[in-house]
Amino acid sequence: MRHAQLWTVLAAVISCSVIGACSEDEALLLGADSSVATPTDSGRGDVTMASTGGAPSGGGAGTNGGASPGGATSMGGAAGADAGVDGSAGAAGADMDAATGAASDADDGGGPSDSPPLALDAVGTLVIVGDSISSAKASWAYTTLLHGDLDARYGDVEYHNVAVAGSETRDLMGQVSGLPASMPGPVVVCITSGGNDVKNRVSELLGGGFENIMADMTSNIDGALAELYSPDRFGTGVEAFVVEANVYDPTDGEGNFGDHGCGFGGGISGLPLDVFFILANERLDAAIAGRGANVLDLWSLFRFRGLNYDPTWFRDCQHPNEPGNDGLRRKFYEHITGEMLPP
């Protein structure tokens, strides 16, 4: 799939439908008439095009304005575009249609997915690595709850939390390399990282930088996992097991951060994000599993529990609230133990 072309289409969708200022080249790319490609009254970034040569459609709305769980979110693909800038519109439109199909498949049970549980018989140490999803120390934080759960399940479990709010995947190696050289085994490492990479590189992403961003993220993840899995990293004969989450979308594919007062993406009011999150999480899942780590599908866990839903699992534009932390705690516990916590 030609991701650079895909993101060129997404950038054009933003200009035409969200900002309301299509350039001639962007209009040609989408097969639209730039004079009528303006935002709809809903402010959701629905794209209404005058041309019949491949009209993108807006995101499907569900309860409280969210994408309907029962069907695929319409991603605004440039279907049928057969002419465009430098002859690339048809190829880019095909990419968008393929990604739209991926979004539909995800709602039907495809897309990113969990690894089978580790089902460990013993845990000696719990290590937490990553960003602000994992750095909270409150009594309701998933990390605090998970430590207590594992203590109850396995006995006295040593605990280290080195996660740092605001960190990116490039910071994982520093966190991992600073861990003690000796810890009771088996050592279980839980990781949440990647959301800040995306948030901090939105402009690059929309400028066609998908491949560069994903190459950086997967390389960073691979390096950290290699360190964690290096022989005797935590002591002679001590086994290490890693459960790493992919990244979630607080808007469930609608990209309407601006509607919720979020500065992410410059406060945009509509952007078809399912395309990005499905493709990105496929890459992240492959990088995680490629090193033998266990993938926790955070994207699916939080899907349809985002900012557009009530009740939501978010306390702000990017962090989980108490129900969200409880969901995380239960999912990590299931991955580690192979068992489900009681309600």
pLDDT at residue number 318: 93
pLDDT at residue number 169: 98
| Whether residues 73 and 189 fall in one domain | no
Q: What are phi and psi of 91, to 5 degrees?
A: -65, -45
Residue-wise pLDDT tens digits, 268-324: 667 778 888 999 999 999 999 999 999 999 999 999 999 999 999 999 999 999 999
Give domain status of residue 114, yes or no: no
pLDDT at residue number 332: 98
pLDDT at residue number 55: 31
Domain termination residue (choose one: 107, 138, 161) = 107
pLDDT at residue number 73: 32
317 and 138 Cβ atoms separated by less than 8 Å? no
Give domain status of residue 118, yes or no: no
pLDDT at residue number 11: 56
Q: In what order do the strands lie in the sheet with 187-192?
A: 158-161, 125-130, 187-192, 240-245, 294-296
| Whether residues 162 and 240 fall in one domain | yes
Give domain status of residue 195, yes or no: yes
**CB atoms closer than 10 angstroms to residue 26:** 22
Nearby residues of 98 by Cβ (< 8 Å), 6 or more positions away:
1
Domain termination residue (choose one: 107, 138, 153) = 107
* Residue 112, preceding peptide bond in cis (omega within 30° of 0): no
Determine the distance from the C-alpha atom of residue 303 to the mean position of all C-alpha atoms in its chain, rounded to a whole number.
10
Q: Which residue has the tokens 């900002």?
A: 19
Give domain status of residue 343, yes or no: no
Domain termination residue (choose one: 107, 135, 154) = 107
**CB atoms closer than 10 angstroms to residue 50:** 14
pLDDT at residue number 12: 59
Tell me the C-alpha distance between 314 and 154, whole Å: 30
84 and 31 Cβ atoms separated by less than 8 Å? yes
| Whether residues 323 and 225 fall in one domain | yes
pLDDT at residue number 92: 39
pLDDT at residue number 239: 98
CA-to-CA separations, 167 to 96, 132, 135, 333, in angstroms, rounded? 31, 8, 10, 24
Longest CA–CA span in the chain (Å) reads 69
Give domain status of residue 116, yes or no: no
| Whether residues 210 and 296 fall in one domain | yes
| Whether residues 103 and 129 fall in one domain | no
Q: Environment class of residue 4 by beta-carbon count within 10 Å: exposed (0-12), middle (13-18) or buried (19+)?
A: middle
Give domain status of residue 120, yes or no: no
Tell me the C-alpha distance between 189 and 4, whole Å: 34
| Nearest C-alpha neighbor of 63 from the set 299, 316, 307 | 307
Give me 333's structure tokens: 């516990």
| Whether residues 189 and 310 fall in one domain | yes
| Whether residues 41 and 186 fall in one domain | no
What domain count does the chain have?
2
| Whether residues 295 and 174 fall in one domain | yes
pLDDT at residue number 334: 98
| Whether residues 83 and 16 fall in one domain | yes
pLDDT at residue number 206: 76
- Which structural domain range is residue 62 located in? 3-107
pLDDT at residue number 105: 53
| Whether residues 102 and 131 fall in one domain | no
Give domain status of residue 315, yes or no: yes
Q: Which CATH number goes with the domain that contains 188?
A: 3.40.50.1110
Tell me the C-alpha distance between 191 and 298, whole Å: 11
Give domain status of residue 211, yes or no: yes
pLDDT at residue number 25: 58
| Whether residues 139 and 48 fall in one domain | no
| Each residue's pLDDT expressed in tens, for the chain with a length of 343 residues | 444 455 555 655 554 544 444 556 555 555 544 333 333 333 333 333 233 333 333 333 333 333 333 333 333 333 333 333 333 334 334 444 444 454 555 555 457 999 999 999 999 999 999 999 999 999 999 999 999 999 999 999 999 999 999 999 999 999 999 999 999 999 999 999 999 998 898 888 878 899 999 999 999 999 999 999 999 999 999 999 999 999 999 999 988 888 888 876 565 667 778 888 999 999 999 999 999 999 999 999 999 999 999 999 999 999 999 999 999 999 999 999 999 999 9
| Whether residues 43 and 161 fall in one domain | no
Q: 83-116: buried (b, 16+ CB within 10 Å) or exposed (e) per residue?
A: ebbeebbbebbbbbbebbebbbebbeeebbebbe
Length in residues, the chain: 343
Tell me the C-alpha distance between 292 and 240, whole Å: 11
Nearby residues of 258 by Cβ (< 8 Å), 6 or more positions away:
43, 265, 267, 268, 269
